[in-house]
């Protein structure tokens, strides 16, 4: 077993599915659990998608936990229509998967994260690729979580490029800016893998054709869901060259930080509805002279990452 342990926190849509495959395939880490979140779909659907994808990959030993069902400042959550266009109504491109024999764990995702932080400390890598509601809730319940986790690499935010919800705001941060601000203010050893770098990592149908050519059920299903994603990017005019590998890049950077170039920056998230920059991830000018505990990725070794990603996918789908 690898010394480094990984927990994924996913709102399991299509790129989250790729993140699962990457974490399973990379032998440098042991995936010890997945916490379900909301965003691309509802939290219950996200959890079942994760279980079914793990089953497809032959790893039914990884537990899946339920996280928070909505943001810290609302009493419900509705999937945005654009999310359904990008990820499908079922979150995974309308692809039908065999039902996992494993059920969702009874322990809450928040308690699982707190327990793992105390157990593994520096050896724990935490990868949230949806809203930061679960991590903020864990910090609020047990403030030591903020310093116990070895490293947190989140997919979210935008520093040097426009957001994909508003000119300032990226989708994951937009779901719960207040929780995101708690995380940016309190979580140490934090790296933001935002649109600045993820939009530079594109996959095309040339790669998914290689998955299909493996002749396996996993290869076929992952090709189907990724092709749905690529088509959505094209049809919605997000990017006609391919679809971005948002969430798997966060997993990769959590394991090997050399994929990206970062700048040390203590950040915060704006959440005043009146200012026009709701959900903006930006440097905290009040802390410019204080020690920095977080990093923001601004450049990525695109060719190396996409090549490594494709090789891992070919291995895990074979």
Eight-state DSSP code of residue 241:
S
% the chain with pLDDT above 70: 100
Task: State the distance between the two ends of the chain, measured CA to CA, in whole angstroms.
Answer: 21
Measured CA to CA, the distance from residue 177 to residue 182 in angstroms comes to: 9
Q: Is position 209 within any domain? A: no
The owner of tokens 């308690």 is 111
Kindly tell me if the per-residue pLDDT of 197 is higher than 90.
yes
Whether 175 is in a domain gets the answer: yes
200 found inside a domain: no
d(CA 129, CA 301): 20
* Residue 305, CB-side half-sphere exposure with 13 Å CA sphere: 29
> How does residue 111 score in pLDDT terms, banded at 50, 70 and 90?
very high
User: At 257, is the secondary structure helix, strand, or coil?
Assistant: helix
pLDDT at 276: 77
Residue 91 has φ and ψ, to the nearest 5°, of 90, -20
Q: Which residues pair with 190 in a beta bridge?
A: 152, 294
Quote the number of domains for the chain: 1
Please compute Rg for the chain using Cα positions.
18
In a domain? residue 109 = yes
SS3 for 167?
A: coil
Residues with catalytic roles: 11, 246
Tens digit of each residue's pLDDT (9 = 90 or more) over 41-57: 999 999 999 999 999 99
User: Which residue range(s) make up the domain with 187?
Assistant: 4-194+245-302
Does any domain span residue 262? yes
Question: Is residue 190 classed as helix, strand or coil in its secondary structure?
Answer: strand
Q: Is the model's pLDDT at 275 over the cut of 90?
A: no
- Residue 298 in domain: yes
pTM score, two decimals?
A: 0.97
Q: Are 267 and 283 in contact (CB under 8 A)?
A: yes
Span 159-179, pLDDT tens digits = 999 999 999 999 999 999 999
Q: In the chain, where does DSSP find H-type helix?
A: 14-25, 43-56, 81-87, 109-120, 133-141, 145-148, 171-175, 177-186, 195-198, 205-212, 217-235, 246-255, 302-317
Q: Which tokens is 246 given? A: 């948002």
List pLDDT tens digits, range 121-164.
999 999 999 999 999 999 999 999 999 999 999 999 999 999 99
Residue 290 in domain: yes
In a domain, 35, yes or no: yes
Task: Read off the pLDDT of residues 206-225 as tens digits, 9 standing for 90 and up.
Answer: 999 999 999 999 999 999 99
Can you read off the two tokens belonging to residue 78?
């509705």
CATH of the domain at 146: 3.90.245.10
Is pLDDT at 188 greater than 90 in this prediction? yes
With cut-offs at 50, 70 and 90, classify the pLDDT of residue 273: confident
d(CA 194, CA 158): 5
Q: Does 312 have pLDDT greater than 90? A: yes
Task: State mean pLDDT over 21-30.
Answer: 98
């Amino acid at each position: 077993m690898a010394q480094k342990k990984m927990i994924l926190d996913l709102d399991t849509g299509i790129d989250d599915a790729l993140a699962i495959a990457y974490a399973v395939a990379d032998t440098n880490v042991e995936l010890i659990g997945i916490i379900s979140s909301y965003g691309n779909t509802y939290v219950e659907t996200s959890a079942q998608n994760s279980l079914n994808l793990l089953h497809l990959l032959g790893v039914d030993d990884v537990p899946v936990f339920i996280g928070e069902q909505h943001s810290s400042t609302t009493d419900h959550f509705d999937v945005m229509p654009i999310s359904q266009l990008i990820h499908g109504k079922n979150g995974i491109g309308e692809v039908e998967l065999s039902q996992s024999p494993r059920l969702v764990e009874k322990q809450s995702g928040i308690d699982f994260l707190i327990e793992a932080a105390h157990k593994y400390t520096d050896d724990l890598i935490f990868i949230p690729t949806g809203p930061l509601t679960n991590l903020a809730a864990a910090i609020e319940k047990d403030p030591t979580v903020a310093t116990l986790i070895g490293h947190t690499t989140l997919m979210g935010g935008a520093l040097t490029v426009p957001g994909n919800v508003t000119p300032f705001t990226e989708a994951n941060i937009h779901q719960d800016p207040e929780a995101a601000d708690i995380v940016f203010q309190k979580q140490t050893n934090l790296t933001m893998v935002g649109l600045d770098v993820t939009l530079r990592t594109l996959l095309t149908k040339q790669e998914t054709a290689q998955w299909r050519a493996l002749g396996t059920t996993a290869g076929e299903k992952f090709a189907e869901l990724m092709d749905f994603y690529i088509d959505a990017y094209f049809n919605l005019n997000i990017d006609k060259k391919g679809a971005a590998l948002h969430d798997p890049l966060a997993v990769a950077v959590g394991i090997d930080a050399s994929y990206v170039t970062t700048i040390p920056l203590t950040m915060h998230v704006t959440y005043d509805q009146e200012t026009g920059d709701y959900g903006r991830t930006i440097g905290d000018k009040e802390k410019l002279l204080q020690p920095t505990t977080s990093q923001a990725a601004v450049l990525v070794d695109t060719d190396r990452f996409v090549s490594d990603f494709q090789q891992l996918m070919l291995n895990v789908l074979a």
